[in-house]
């Protein structure tokens, strides 16, 4: 019979051996040599989409022509047998570029998008019944993509309450004669803390086409400047995420804190070969020429008056979002002592001026798809984060154009009869008027002299009870969502009677009406 001491020595030997074997096995999974055997790089775009099937949902990153996976789109175009796709993207490219190519080849049966106003082919196909179109507010689209990738089936948002999105009165599909074949579904509404929200279902993609600046063999991604837009949220969403990268690098060449999308979300990587395009090249102008964008003659004088007055809305330390057109010119008249951080909903905080000629960057555009620069201290991020800060009320001020405003501050600025454009980000920008002051800049009447400030808006709404101030070429109104309009300022040479004659909505007159400028 063995001694007790020998028994313990034997047991100890096996214990040490087992532990050593266990740690050796564990370490073998994390050695540099074995980890680098993972390689998600494909030899060509065609091989990366070889198993792609018809009737799939395709998520496509990009905003305008910035950050668009054109190499992958070109590869898909060369496979016309892949049809009946549901394409999800902020916009549908333009004729001859981006997703516009897949519309030309009739490979897309349905578009889910925010803004399609730059694609006349899509408008034609939609109105003639060749294409289904599900228009979605831009922030809602970003969150539907983000939520789908995070395993959240639905969520509530304040954006689009009281609009055709909530009521389901927006045409999803037309008949060949232009009549409506199918409307969208009405949204469920719930009230949280006294405020109404509508329910939106998330989007889940079968495939995602993504454009990245850098990708390594593990699939880690780094984006550049405003080209992140929808790419990050969509890359995290699909069953199969395919990335085209400008630079394919070795593992470790992207710093850990520079990885915008971890490789766990990415399945395939290919080399991007398509040239980067710029949709709208806009350059800096000499200050004396800057106002040429407002036109000429009497119309330009009216608009300059509006822009100069709008500049007074900026206060030091504000975060502001500006619509295209007149609002974008307002910062030119802000006093140098006032520092304002400008936000662009495509993923920029710290928007700078237009670039000098020759210094345009295709990865730096604003929400109007115009070339821009960054101010010192700027940051760039994805569209889902951009709209998160907007809905949360982190933006102090937004200045927008409008087609009509009602006596109670309802806003209509996204649709004219017979035109197919889309919402863009406006419905989100006006969704939290308690925290974000919404200022409208517009001419007091339309081109035919008809009032644009009405008892009730005639055009489809962008938001209900959201506009706090209206600045026109004649005057300034403050808006109370319950009590209505109060005239607080008059332009030089304008009388109260003239304003009454050109305003359908009733209004009060402040005791101390001030001059506009």
Domains of the chain, first to last: 45-153+202-271 (3.40.1080.10), 287-515 (3.40.1080.10)
Q: What tens digit of pLDDT does each residue of 268-309 get?
A: 999 999 999 999 999 988 666 666 666 667 788 899 999 999
DSSP string, 427-471: HHHTS-TTTSEEEEE--SB-TTS-BSEESS-SSPPSBSS---EEE
470's tokens: 């209206």
* Nearest-angstrom CA–CA distance, 166 and 185: 8
Question: At which residue do the structure tokens 């081109």 appear?
Answer: 447
pLDDT, average across residues 328-342: 91
pLDDT the model gives residue 294: 67
Q: What tens digit of pLDDT does each residue of 235-252 get?
A: 999 999 999 999 999 999
Q: What tens digit of pLDDT does each residue of 364-383 get?
A: 999 999 999 999 999 999 99
Longest dimension (CA), the chain: 118
- Of how many residues is the chain composed? 517
Confidence of residue 183 (pLDDT cuts 50, 70, 90): very high
Residue 378 has phi, psi (to 5 degrees) of -70, 160
pLDDT the model gives residue 35: 55
* Nearest-angstrom CA–CA distance, 299 and 446: 12
Q: What tens digit of pLDDT does each residue of 397-445 get?
A: 999 999 999 999 999 999 877 788 899 999 999 999 999 999 999 999 9
* Nearest-angstrom CA–CA distance, 81 and 59: 19
Tell me the pLDDT of the chain averaged across its residues: 91
pLDDT the model gives residue 13: 47
Confidence of residue 325 (pLDDT cuts 50, 70, 90): confident
pLDDT the model gives residue 381: 97
Confidence of residue 19 (pLDDT cuts 50, 70, 90): very low
Q: Which residues are within 8 A (CB) of 152 and not within 5 positions of it... i.e. 6 or more apart?
A: 202
Annotated active-site positions, please? Answer: 345
Residue 314 CB neighbour total at 10 angstroms: 21
Query: Beta strand 475-480 with 484-490: parallel, antiparallel or unpaired?
Result: antiparallel
Q: Which residues are within 8 A (CB) of 411 and not within 5 positions of it... i.e. 6 or more apart?
A: 400, 402, 404, 405, 426, 430, 438, 440, 457, 461, 462, 463, 466, 467
Residue 213 has phi, psi (to 5 degrees) of -80, -50
- H or E stretch including 141? helix 138-149
100's tokens: 């516009």
Contact 328, 345 (CB under 8 A): no
Supply the DSSP symbol for 274. S
Residue 446 CB neighbour total at 10 angstroms: 12
- Can you tell me whether residue 1 is helix, strand or coil? coil
DSSP string, 350-396: EE--PPPTT---TT-B-TTSBB--EEEEEEE--HHHHHHHHHTT---
Contact 244, 210 (CB under 8 A): yes
Give the predicted TM-score (pTM) of the model: 0.90
- Residue 467 confidence (pLDDT) above 90: yes
């Amino acid at each position: 019979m063995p001694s007790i001491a020998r028994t313990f020595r034997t047991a100890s030997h096996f214990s040490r051996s087992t532990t050593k074997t266990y740690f050796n096995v564990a370490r073998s999974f994390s050695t540099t040599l074995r980890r680098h055997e993972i390689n998600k790089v494909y030899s060509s775009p065609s091989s990366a989409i070889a198993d792609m099937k018809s009737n799939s949902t395709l998520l496509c990153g990009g905003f305008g022509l910035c950050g668009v996976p054109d190499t992958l789109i070109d590869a898909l175009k060369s496979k016309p047998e892949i049809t009946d796709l549901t394409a999800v993207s902020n916009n549908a490219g333009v004729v001859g570029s981006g997703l516009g190519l897949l519309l030309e080849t009739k490979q897309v049966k349905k578009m889910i998008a925010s803004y399609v106003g730059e694609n006349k082919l899509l408008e034609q196909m939609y109105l003639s019944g060749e294409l289904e179109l599900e228009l979605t507010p831009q922030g809602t689209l970003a969150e539907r993509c983000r939520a789908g990738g995070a395993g959240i089936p639905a969520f509530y948002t304040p954006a689009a309450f009281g609009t055709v999105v909530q009521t389901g009165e927006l045409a999803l599909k037309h008949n060949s004669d232009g009549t409506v074949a199918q409307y969208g579904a009405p949204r469920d509404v719930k009230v949280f803390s006294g405020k109404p929200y509508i329910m939106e279902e998330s989007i889940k993609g079968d495939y995602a086409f993504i454009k990245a600046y850098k990708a390594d063999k593990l699939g880690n991604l780094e984006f550049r400047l405003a080209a992140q837009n929808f790419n990050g949220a969509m890359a995290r969403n699909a069953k199969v995420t395919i990335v085209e990268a400008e630079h394919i690098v070795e593992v470790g060449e992207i710093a850990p804190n520079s990885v915008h999308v971890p490789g766990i979300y990415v399945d395939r990587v290919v080399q991007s070969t398509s040239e980067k395009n710029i949709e709208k090249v806009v350059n800096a102008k000499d200050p004396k020429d800057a106002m040429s964008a407002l036109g000429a003659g009497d119309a330009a004088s009216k608009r300059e008056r509006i822009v100069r007055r709008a500049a007074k809305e900026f206060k030091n330390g504000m975060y502001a979002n500006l619509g295209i057109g007149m609002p974008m010119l307002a910062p030119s008249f802000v006093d140098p002592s006032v520092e304002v951080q400008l936000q662009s909903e495509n993923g920029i905080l710290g928007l700078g001026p237009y670039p000098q000629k020759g210094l345009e960057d295709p990865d730096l555009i604003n929400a109007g798809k115009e070339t821009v620069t960054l101010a010192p201290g700027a940051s760039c991020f994805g569209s889902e984060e951009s709209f998160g800060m907007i809905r949360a009320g982190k933006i102090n001020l937004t200045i927008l154009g409008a087609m009509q405003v009602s006596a109670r501050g309802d806003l209509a600025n996204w649709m004219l009869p017979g035109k197919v454009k889309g919402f863009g980000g406006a419905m989100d920008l006006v969704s939290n008027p308690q925290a974000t002051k919404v200022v409208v800049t517009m001419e007091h009447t339309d081109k035919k002299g008809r009032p644009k400030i009405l008892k009730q808006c005639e055009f489809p709404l962008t938001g209900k009870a959201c506009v706090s101030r209206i600045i026109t070429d004649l005057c300034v109104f403050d808006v109370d969502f319950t009590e209505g309009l109060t005239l607080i300022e008059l332009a030089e040479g304008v009388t109260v009677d003239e304003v009454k004659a050109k305003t359908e909505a009733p209004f009060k007159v402040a005791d101390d009406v001030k001059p506009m400028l």
